């Protein structure tokens, strides 16, 4: 009994410590780092409300004297005029201003970072270390050229680290990538011999808790030039009852005591981190450490941010190219399925002819196609009876008619009707894709074998709870020595690009199965045949033509264009940032966007234009107008979609690629040019039209 009580107490303490860590208000510490000073004034710029206790060291006035002056007297009219002028041009905050100060304790340039907390203006002043502007610009331009020539992600990240070292002189520089559970792994590193290597090591998610990660969206740079320096408190005007100052947008906010102990345990005297964003998601960090305190000029810090942003664009361009090559391989496989549909090949024949290539494409050990024709499988899979129980459980639990996947199938037996572990020996990952043309839906299942993994942690990721000021908090680990964890019972995770590609393939298979079924029922059930034929030619969600019907129409239109020298143009478009609708609002919201867009586009087309869903969030329009008219049509559609009112879902935009028929073109070539133009439109900023005429 005592052991049970002790265990419960530890569990409760840990839960309380984790909760307190997640609630720590790191954005309002009530103090700053001594690398500069802070002044907070009212919204009307009439009264000084708060100052940092070290204001005399920078601005040459005591806190008492500061409270006795107006903001204009304390900050100088030139600085406030700069602020007013900048706000007329651009009201986005924070702003960076430069000014000159001469006091008994300081003489030189200051950089002022200006932002708002509630309705108050906050000014953070940092001394400008003399760095020739042309020097930093020359370094930035040189490294941008170097990064622009790299052709691999690994080389790009190492070049970025070399550039950061040349700009900052930090002793250890790392690129740190987050996984789906927010654990981070060091995937690139450069260091001095005096500092320990963390290359290939993992850091637990609690090292950078959610509220700290969220601050990177407010300010992507976090600088701690002296981790051992005491924080400088903020002083408020007598009688003031203002809320704590939110210092998230600035650079000087004091660090959490827990984080400072963490850095001390790691032997770090100064740190700098810059967020790396993939679209709107935090992908990772550039993390810099130095064994001793190290001041960094604000200009160099700004140059470093620009360099990381440039490198990020190149990083995701390289990743996008790799994804496009992968999608091209999947597209070629889909073309084979499309060709097979004309020959009424049964599902088992499709699996026999193309199954091995699908196993290779999706790094799967086995697959199963479950349709009205029964179960067809290849490779390592559960037996037919188990597959049917899995499909039954998936159908009952799949509320949004979307894909379902896991890399640890044994932990998700509730979704698969409590199948026993012995029933799925050898299968640890599952990607299940519904084929909604059928009712009840069929399933295309891909299985993966176990992939044992070795995680090298930077210190054992254990949680130690201590009590501070009556609160239980997590105590940072003291050792960062390598701790090895062997992970079993999981497959390789399913990547988003793999899920997307497999979903498109499953739609093609669903149509192929449906067409086959139509052929078998045609002579017996005319009414059922008409319904299924409609399903085979229209998209079940949006009601517009599906890919199969579009492909037939493109082939026919190309023949007419060739024989009679008529115009034939294709408009291929993709919904920008569509994944955000599903991630932020759910799949039902994503379906609503697709249906609303399809209805809007249909209303803008001529009677002779053909329109359908090409796959996922991609749509295609086939028109017989001339190339110039096709461009005008595309632009009109882009503007019309931009005007769609989705209420709480926000705005939807599309990127359109336009291509016209050239003598000798086949369907694949014509659509490929439109696809290339569409990807160019996306890479150039989205919500635009690009032609390849």
pLDDT in tens, 158-182: 999 999 998 889 999 999 999 989 9
Specify whether the CB–CB gap between 437 and 535 falls below 8 A: yes
Mean pLDDT of the chain: 85
Distance CA 356, CA 366 (A): 9
Q: What pLDDT is recorded for position 575?
A: 95
- pLDDT average, residue stretch 393-404: 75
Decide which of 116 and 101 is more confident.
Answer: 116
Distance CA 162, CA 299 (A): 18
Task: Quote the pTM value.
Answer: 0.69
The CATH-assigned architecture of domain 542-692 is 2-Layer Sandwich (3.30)
Strands across the sheet with 442-448, in order? 374-379, 366-371, 442-448, 429-435, 404-406
φ, ψ at 660 (rounded to 5°): -115, 155
Assign 243 to helix, strand or coil.
coil
pLDDT tens sequence across 197-219? 999 999 999 899 999 999 999 99
Q: Which of 386, 278, 330 is nearest to 509 (CA)?
A: 330
DSSP code at position 662: -
Read off the pLDDT band of 288 (50, 70, 90): very high
Q: What pLDDT is recorded for position 399?
A: 59
User: What separation in angstroms does the CA of 321 have from each of 276, 309, 365, 679?
Assistant: 19, 19, 26, 10
Q: What pLDDT is recorded for position 10?
A: 37
Specify whether the CB–CB gap between 140 and 306 falls below 8 A: yes
Domain boundaries, the chain: 31-127, 130-319, 342-452+490-521, 542-692
- pLDDT average, residue stretch 376-387: 90
Q: What pLDDT is recorded for position 338?
A: 59
Distance CA 370, CA 392 (A): 11
User: What separation in angstroms does the CA of 478 have from each of 167, 180, 226, 272, 460?
Assistant: 31, 26, 20, 21, 10
- pLDDT average, residue stretch 591-599: 95
Q: Which of 99, 73, 124 is nearest to 234 (CA)?
A: 124
Superfamily name and number for 130-319: GAF domain (3.30.450.40)
Distance CA 544, CA 619 (A): 10
Specify whether the CB–CB gap between 405 and 341 falls below 8 A: no
Look up tokens 């008529």; give the residue: 566
pLDDT tops 60 at residue 612: yes
CA distance between the termini of the chain: 79
φ, ψ at 588 (rounded to 5°): -65, -35
Distance CA 351, CA 365 (A): 14
pLDDT tens sequence across 570-582? 999 999 999 888 8
Specify whether the CB–CB gap between 111 and 298 falls below 8 A: yes
pLDDT tops 80 at residue 436: no
Backbone torsion region of residue 45, taken as left when φ is above 0, otherwise alpha when ψ lies between -120 and 50, otherwise beta: left
Domains 130-319 and 342-452+490-521 share a fold: yes
E strand intervals along 197-245? 201-203, 221-224, 232-236
Specify whether the CB–CB gap between 253 and 40 falls below 8 A: no
Distance CA 403, CA 433 (A): 5
Q: Which of 224, 306, 216 is nearest to 263 (CA)?
A: 224
Q: Which of 672, 600, 596, 671 is nearest to 636 (CA)?
A: 600
User: What separation in angstroms does the CA of 114 have from each of 40, 42, 91, 94, 403?
Assistant: 10, 13, 11, 5, 46
Read off the pLDDT band of 230 (50, 70, 90): very high
Q: Residues with Cβ < 8 Å from 496, sequence gap 6 or more?
A: 579
Backbone torsion region of residue 116, taken as left when φ is above 0, otherwise alpha when ψ lies between -120 and 50, otherwise beta: beta
Strands across the sheet with 654-660, in order? 610-615, 618-623, 569-575, 654-660, 689-692
Using alpha carbons only, give the angle 397, 400, 406 rounded to the nearest 5 degrees.
Answer: 60
User: In DSSP terms, which residues pair with 122 in a beta bridge?
Assistant: 40, 115
282 exposed, middle or buried (CB, 10 Å; 0-12, 13-18, 19+)?
Answer: middle
- pLDDT average, residue stretch 607-613: 93
Distance of CA 241 to the CA centre of its chain: 40
595 exposed, middle or buried (CB, 10 Å; 0-12, 13-18, 19+)?
Answer: middle
Q: What pLDDT is recorded for position 679?
A: 94
- pLDDT average, residue stretch 505-532: 64
| Tokens linked to 185 | 């792994």
DSSP code at position 253: B
Q: Residues with Cβ < 8 Å from 222, sequence gap 6 or more?
A: 215, 216, 271, 272, 273, 274
Highest-confidence segment of 43-47, 89-93, 99-103, 367-371: 43-47
Helix (H), strand (E) at residue 657: strand 654-660
Q: Which of 638, 663, 616, 505 is nearest to 571 (CA)?
A: 638
| Tokens linked to 538 | 């229209």
| Tokens linked to 587 | 């799949």
Residue 635 among the catalytic residues:
no
- pLDDT average, residue stretch 63-89: 92
Domain 342-452+490-521 adopts which CATH fold?
A: Beta-Lactamase (3.30.450)
Assign 316 to helix, strand or coil.
helix
Q: Which of 592, 505, 602 is nearest to 544 (CA)?
A: 602
User: In DSSP terms, which residues pair with 378 in a beta bridge?
Assistant: 367
Distance CA 618, CA 573 (A): 6
Distance of CA 470 to the CA centre of its chain: 39
Q: Which of 691, 676, 668, 657 is nearest to 555 (CA)?
A: 668
Among 55-69, 111-125, 515-529, name the one with the lowest average pLDDT.
515-529
Decide which of 341 and 139 is more confident.
Answer: 139
Helix (H), strand (E) at residue 392: helix 384-397
- pLDDT average, residue stretch 620-648: 95
Q: Which of 126, 438, 617, 631 is catalytic?
A: 617
CATH number attached to the domain at 31-127: 3.30.450.20
């Amino acid at each position: 009994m005592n052991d049970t009580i002790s265990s419960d107490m530890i569990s409760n303490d840990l839960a309380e410590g984790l909760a307190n860590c997640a609630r720590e208000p790191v954005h309002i510490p009530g103090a700053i780092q001594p690398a500069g000073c802070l002044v907070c004034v009212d919204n009307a710029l009439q009264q000084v409300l708060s100052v940092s206790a070290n204001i005399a060291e920078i601005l040459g006035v005591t806190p008492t004297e500061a409270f006795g002056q107006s903001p204009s007297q304390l900050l100088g009219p030139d600085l406030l005029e700069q602020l007013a002028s900048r706000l007329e041009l651009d009201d986005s905050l924070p702003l960076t201003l430069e000014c000159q100060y001469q006091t008994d304790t300081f003489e030189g340039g200051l950089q002022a970072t200006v932002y708002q907390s509630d309705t108050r203006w906050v000014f953070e002043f940092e001394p400008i270390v003399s760095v020739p502007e042309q020097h930093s610009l020359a370094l930035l331009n040189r490294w941008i050229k170097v990064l622009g020539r790299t052709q691999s992600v690994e080389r790009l990240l190492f070049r970025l680290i070399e550039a950061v070292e040349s700009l900052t002189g930090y002793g250890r520089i790392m690129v740190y990538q987050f996984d789906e559970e927010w654990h981070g792994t060091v995937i690139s590193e450069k260091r001095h011999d005096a500092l320990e290597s963390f290359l290939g090591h993992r850091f637990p998610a609690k090292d950078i808790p959610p509220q700290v990660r969220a601050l990177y969206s407010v300010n992507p740079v976090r600088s701690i030039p002296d981790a051992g320096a005491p924080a400088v408190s903020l002083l408020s005007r007598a009688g003031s009852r203002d809320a704590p100052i939110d210092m998230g947008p600035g650079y000087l906010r004091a660090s959490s005591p827990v984080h400072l102990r963490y850095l001390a345990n790691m032997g770090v005297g100064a740190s700098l981190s810059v967020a790396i964003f993939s679209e709107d998601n935090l992908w990772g960090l550039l993390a810099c450490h130095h064994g001793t305190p190290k001041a960094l000029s604000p200009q160099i810090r700004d140059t470093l941010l620009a360099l990381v942003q440039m490198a990020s664009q190149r990083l995701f361009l390289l990743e996008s190219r790799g994804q496009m090559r992968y999608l091209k391989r999947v597209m070629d496989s889909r073309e084979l399925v499309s060709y097979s549909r004309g020959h009424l090949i049964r599902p088992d024949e499709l699996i026999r002819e193309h199954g091995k290539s699908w196993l290779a494409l999706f790094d799967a050990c086995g697959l199963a196609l479950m349709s009205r024709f029964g179960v067809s499988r290849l490779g390592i899979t559960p037996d037919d009876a188990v597959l049917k129980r899995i499909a039954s459980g998936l159908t009952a639990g799949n509320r949004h008619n979307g894909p379902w996947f896991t890399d640890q199938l044994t932990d998700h037996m509730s979704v698969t009707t409590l199948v026993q572990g012995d029933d799925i020996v050898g299968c640890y990952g599952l990607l299940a894709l519904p084929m909604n043309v059928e009712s009840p839906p069929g399933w295309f299942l891909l299985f993966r074998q176990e992939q044992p993994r070795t995680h090298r942690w930077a210190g054992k990721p254990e949680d130690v709870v201590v009590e501070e000021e009556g609160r239980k908090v997590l105590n940072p680990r003291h050792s960062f020595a390598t701790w090895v964890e062997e992970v079993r019972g999981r497959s390789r995770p399913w990547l988003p690009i793999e899920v997307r590609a497999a979903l498109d393939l499953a739609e093609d298979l669903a149509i192929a199965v449906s067409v086959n079924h139509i052929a078998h029922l045609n002579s017996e059930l005319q009414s059922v045949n008409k319904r299924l034929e409609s399903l085979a030619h229209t998209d079940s969600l949006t009601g517009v033509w599906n890919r199969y019907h579009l492909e037939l129409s493109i082939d026919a239109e190309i023949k007419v264009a060739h024989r009679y020298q008529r115009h034939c143009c294709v408009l291929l478009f993709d919904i920008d940032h569509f994944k955000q609708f599903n991630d932020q609002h759910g799949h039902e919201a994503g379906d609503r966007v697709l249906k609303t867009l399809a209805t809007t586009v249909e209303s803008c087309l001529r009677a002779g234009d053909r329109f359908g869903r090409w796959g996922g969030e991609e749509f295609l329009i086939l028109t017989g107008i001339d190339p110039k008219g096709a461009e005008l049509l595309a632009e009109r559609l882009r503007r019309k979609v931009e005007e769609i009112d989705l209420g709480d879902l926000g705005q939807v935009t599309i990127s359109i690629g336009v291509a016209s028929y050239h003598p000798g073109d086949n369907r694949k070539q014509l659509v490929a040019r439109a696809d290339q133009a569409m990807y160019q439109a996306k890479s150039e900023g989205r919500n635009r039209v690009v032609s390849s005429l």
